[in-house]
A and B are shown apart, each in its own frame.
Chain A
Amino acid sequence: MTAISLISIALTLLLAFLLARPAGLYIAYAFHNEGTRLDRWFGPLEKLIFSIGGIRRNNQNWKQYAASVVLSNTVMIILVYLILRFQGVLPLNPSGVASMEPTTAFHTAISFMTNTDQQHYSGEIGLSYFSQMIAIVFMMFTAPASLLAVAIAFIRGLAGKPLGNFFVDMIRGITRILLPVALVMAVIFIALGVPQTLEPTAVVNTLEGAKQEIARGPVGSFLSIKEFGNNGGGFFGMNSAHPFENPGGFSNFLQILLMLLLPAALPFTYGKMVGNKKQGRVLFVSMAMLLIVLLGISLASENAGNPAINALGIQHQQGSMEGKEVRFGAAQSSFYSVVTTATETGAVNTMHDSLTPIGGLVALGNMMLNTVFGGVGAGFINVLMYAMVAVFLSGLMVGRTPEFLGKKIEGKEMKLIAITLIISPLLVLVPTALALYTNADTISNPGFHGLTQVLYEYTSAAANNGSGFEGLGDATPFWNITTGIVMFLGRYFSVITMLAIAGSLAAKKPVPETSGTFRTDNVVFAGVFLVTVLIVGALTFFPAVALGPIAEHLTLKP
């Protein structure tokens, strides 16, 4: 791994972190309910949408808000399911792609609506242009906008304000944040060589005289929102390892930047909205530190390569290159794998299946913790939930009923948090055990690695990440249905419980701050928060990863 590649990683991170604050403040501004200058720009378009949709723009209570999220998303899932099932007869299908099989359509519709973008099909042969543009890209906007709205409502609740209106928030998320950035970035990606066409798959004769089919399509517009919205589903089966979906170093850099932009910005949005900028900064720094440490581990491991292969005398100065694109090299591939799992995007520019066991563990760990920035909205809500657990424990340790932002965390909140904490191991470990027991034959690489494949699949689904460890024969009804259910519950269960907490906290009278109040905006709290995340995560998943990547690592002998 060269110094240049490390410097370029450092610069990318630096730039992403520098952009986080202004972006965060802009988001806070965009969701400001009391009329801002942005209304002049976006107002007319939004008013038009509101009047078409018949949106009343009233404040909703938490139940209405949660119901709006779940119902509207479910309606979209049904719509997209229908499109996928009938894409063969729908227009814009120049390559003649067939309609999708029912369980794959079920899986795909849920996958994109939940911002997971796990794909049990290959984009270039599985979806028509109509499906890509109308179904998939549509969801790539509404899915992150939905969760961004939930996060904003949650923050409003913490700030003691009304939660707002889901439809207004979701539309604003699209018009004011996702759409403008996606538009600009699409143009840039197209300029960098990403195709944007409705022409069918090109068929060319190669020099040897063989016939080659080159898949193409409206990729540029797809790519920008795929990264910016932390969606991650690829236009092509190869995702961002495909040259049309990631032509080179610069596009790779832009993709990493886009993935980090919203997740890293939200702590600042939060600090601004609750009026405690320092606390937002503390959470941001905690997460950034986690990211940097995990990235360091992954880079070191990928750089060291596979001892068994190294022992064969194969040149490994480049690091472990198995399954990686030569265009990016080990460093940028490892960097991409860490960022895509940390931000729950799920786009890949390398085969995660081929990462070294420890590199794979870092990717897996990012998704298990789901707090290393995390995906748009969802990740940050999770972060705040862990912050509340940390507050609860610390509050006890200083002899006070725990308070967070002046609101007491009591039995009701802890009950909601407790069931949310249980859902994650339930959605990961139980289906993994089930799949290992019943569907072991779909695993391509039996042993510890195979166990990791299955564990990764469900972790990715539960955390709404979507990246695949691959190597799994997962296009079967069993996988489609189980991961579909896991993705759905993984998303909406915590949306409901967290909004319930927001509603409960919003109704509480704030407790004034005194010197006896336990501070949640200093280094000590950052430490407690990080330790809580790591211990809860480690304790829950240690036995599973011990039998997966850790066992694989320990048995890799030269």
Chain B
Amino acid sequence: MSTRKRSLNKEIVNHAVKEAFIKLDPRIMIRNPIMFVVEVGFVITLFLIFVPNAFGTAVSAGFNIAVALILLFTVLFANFAEALAEGRGKAQADSLKQTKKEISANKVSGNTVKQVPSTDLRKGDIVIVSQGEMIPGDGEVIEGLASVDESAITGESAPVIKEAGGDFSSVTGGTRVISDQIKVRISSDPGESFLDRMISLVEGASRQKTPNEIALNTVLVSLTIIFLIVVITLPFFADYLNIQLAVPVLVALLVCLIPTTIGGLLSAIGIAGMDRVTQFNVLAMSGKAVEASGDINTIILDKTGTITYGNRMASELVPVGTHELKEVSEWVAVSSIHDETPEGRSVLELLKKQGFEFDASVADGAEFIEFKAETRMSGMDLKDGRKVRKGAVDAVKQWVESQGGIIPDNLNQNRDAIASAGGTPLAVAVDKTIYGLIYLKDTVKPGMRERFDQMRKMGIKTIMCTGDNPLTAATIAREAGVDDYIAESKPEDKIAVIRREQAEGKLVAMTGDGTNDAPALAQADVGIAMNSGTVAAKEAANMVDLDSDPSKIIEVVAIGKQLLMTRGALTTFSIANDIAKYFAIIPAMFMLAIPGMEALNIMKLHSPMSAILSALIFNAIIIPLLIPLAMKGVAYKPMSSSQLLSRNLLIYGLGGVVVPFIGIKVIDLIVQLWV
């Protein structure tokens, strides 16, 4: 992870500066119509430096040069922002490319094994990968079992087990087998592998404008056209009043009015949004998927692994018969000292947490009896001959009865109480005596409840899917605070739920890893596959979580919202800025001809020239000043949309009106020293 979480280093910045100039190429600029207008403005003013009288009224050469320079910098700043965002992705891509060195593969053809370069491998080829070798391409393990180091992709250094069949059979090209040997069927042609796609995604090469970006761009372009109309008609108005307007002044007005701030930062925001997702170690196949995640109405979550730890943990000890809790705790401890199963360890943790002490020496020299499916018990045979057993209540009951022991009256009652609360009871017995029960519970991960509360505030409904019986499911659902649950669910149920929600017009997100999840992942509007999952699941999903942490879907939703919010906030800011710019430039344009216009110069700017230059300089430097915000995204806390709107309107709307008044005034105080 640390290798890919890169902030702005010098190298990226230097590269971005270079790129900012390369992007001045009009063929590239035309893709961003707003900044293209600024570039055209620059060319016109540049031309006027050499031929001052080309369009009638001339202005002082110094003013003309200043306008041209500021315009050039405005474009450069915007290019720099985009290049910077792209640069961060490129840096990630470079580290991935190192992984993608040419690897030689042991290709199986018929009965022989041949060494071929990995680039010659085609879909369906079978290769053998042994200990220490790189896996030459994406594929599926068809034979064998091996531990694989996937840190190049996931950043996670602990190796993962891959084996044929089941949900852990998919392997990724560029990862290394560190033990044993596997036979892999290659599932992608060269250039189409997971790694290739990942590189092109983080590089931004395959970036397409998202629907929302297109809609916003339409609005921005239409505003630009409106201001073009305003500025082009203005000299005719002025001419009628015998006021001559110089072209550089008109260009300055136009550039100040068109939404350059958001226009210059729009693509940087989009790229940075994708980048934020990638930094979370989630690989989004498209920006559209990230945006859609901001709109999610319903999230379908697997219980096991996402909401709960998945293994049952001891949560309570229940004495039966006449036994004391103290006695129960001692025997429970003895039975679990050598029990390495998660359940066994959780028993010791519970005892420690509740402050029970026990005499570990009782177990000295004892023999550990492992859990077996036939006996459904584990335990210890102590040195003194006593036998301690822990296991399913029925099994322990039988074991005690077979020795002629007596079953306490309240055993069944307590067992049923635990079972009906959704837990699993384990009985603990020593020879003929049953001491008590361990209440095993599927534990909800800490913080889940708060997260679900947040989601409810955001208007997102959570549905939990579990194979448990309805009783257990209801208990966990209540504890975790999910809105709805499906008990005893089969993979088909997920699709049914997704379709049902979608039929109501909702957008549904889900996580999954198994092959049988693939159809549901494809059906969902946002499907996040776990990297540990099968190829089928990853193919069907539109995001892959490299850390295989299903609860990350929640962060992805927040990033999606943040992405839209950043666009909205900067658009509002950009448009609101125009008010102050009008009050700077309009009086400046007409003050000489119409002295009364001084009344509109509410900022009391020094002179017409300084006013226009100050507005233009403000317009330019606001772009680099806002780059950090564009990259980081505006702060997002889950709250109701009305609160969120009021808050953002206050900051970016009102701020957008006020900030330029102050900014332009301050710049004017400096500029007036020269003009």
Contacts and interface: CB of A to CB of B under 8 A. Distances in A.
Interface of A: 389, 392-401, 406, 409-411, 413-415, 417-419, 421-422, 425-426, 429-430, 432-434, 436-437, 440, 447-448, 450-451, 509-512, 514-519, 522, 524, 527-528, 531, 535, 538-540, 542-544, 546-547, 550-551, 554-555, 557
B236 A524 contact: no
10 contacts: A397-B572, A411-B218, A418-B218, A418-B221, A421-B222, A516-B457, A522-B642, A542-B586, A554-B599, A555-B594
B229 A411 contact: no
B57 interface: no
B644 A551 contact: no
Contacts of A544: 230, 233-234, 237
B270 interface: no
Contacts of A451: 237, 240-241
Contacts of B652: 397
Given A414-B218, A436-B239, A540-B230, A400 B506 contact: no
A527 B642 CA distance: 12
Interface of B: 211-212, 214-216, 218-219, 221-222, 225-227, 229-234, 236-241, 253, 257, 291, 294-295, 297, 456-461, 504-506, 560-565, 567-569, 571-572, 575-576, 578-579, 582, 586, 590, 594, 596-597, 599-600, 636, 640-642, 644-646, 648-649, 652-653
Given A422-B222, A509-B505, A399 B599 contact: no
Contact of B237 (A397, A399, A436): A436
A539 B505 contact: no
Nearest to A541: B230
Contacts of A448: 241
A311 to B, nearest CB: 16
Contacts of B564: 395-396, 399-401
Given A397-B652, A400-B294, A547 B237 contact: yes
Given A512-B297, A512-B505, A539-B578, A437 B567 contact: no
A396 B240 contact: no
Contacts of B569: 396-397
Nearest to B594: A551
Given A419-B222, A524-B646, A516 B641 contact: yes
Given A425-B226, A518-B645, A535-B576, A543 B459 contact: no
Contacts of B504: 512
Contacts of A554: 594, 596-597, 599-600
Contact of A547 (B232, B238, B461, B563): B238
A555 B596 contact: yes
A393 B215 contact: no
Nearest to A421: B222
B444 to A, nearest CB: 23
A154 B219 CA distance: 22
Given A425-B230, A555-B594, 14 more contacts: A396-B568, A398-B561, A399-B561, A399-B565, A399-B644, A430-B229, A433-B237, A450-B240, A451-B241, A512-B505, A514-B460, A514-B461, A554-B599, A555-B596
Nearest to A416: B218
A432 to B, nearest CB: 7
A519 B642 contact: yes
A396 B642 contact: no
A509 B297 CA distance: 14
A180 B231 CA distance: 48
Given A432-B237, A436-B236, A539 B582 contact: yes
Q: 7 closest Cβ contacts across the A-B interface?
A: A516-B459, A396-B568, A399-B561, A554-B596, A514-B459, A418-B222, A433-B236
Contacts of A417: 219
B15 to A, nearest CB: 31
A510 B506 CA distance: 9
B294 A512 contact: no
B565 A398 contact: yes
Nearest to B237: A547
A120 B596 CA distance: 35
B460 A516 contact: yes
Nearest to B460: A516
A406 B505 CA distance: 9
Contacts of A450: 240
B645 A437 contact: no
A411 B216 CA distance: 8
B521 to A, nearest CB: 22
B641 A518 contact: yes
Contacts of A409: 215
Candidate in B219, B225, B569, B578 with the most chain A CB atoms within 10 angstroms:
B219
Contacts of B234: 543-544
Nearest to B243: A547
Contacts of A550: 600
Given A551-B596, A551-B597, A543 B297 contact: no
A397 B648 contact: yes
Contacts of B211: 401, 410-411
A524 to B, nearest CB: 6
B222 A511 contact: no
A114 B227 CA distance: 27
Contacts of B562: 399
A396 B216 contact: yes
A16 B211 CA distance: 44
A540 B652 CA distance: 21
A131 to B, nearest CB: 36
B565 to A, nearest CB: 4
A510 B297 CA distance: 13
Contacts of A547: 237-238, 241, 590
Contacts of B215: 392, 409-411, 413-415
Candidate in B236, B240, B241, B565 with the most chain A CB atoms within 10 angstroms:
B240
A389 B226 CA distance: 15
A544 B231 CA distance: 10
A111 B569 CA distance: 42
Contacts of A413: 215
A512 B506 contact: yes
A231 B568 CA distance: 40
Contact of B229 (A401, A426, A516, A557): A426
Given A396-B567, A515-B640, A414 B219 contact: yes
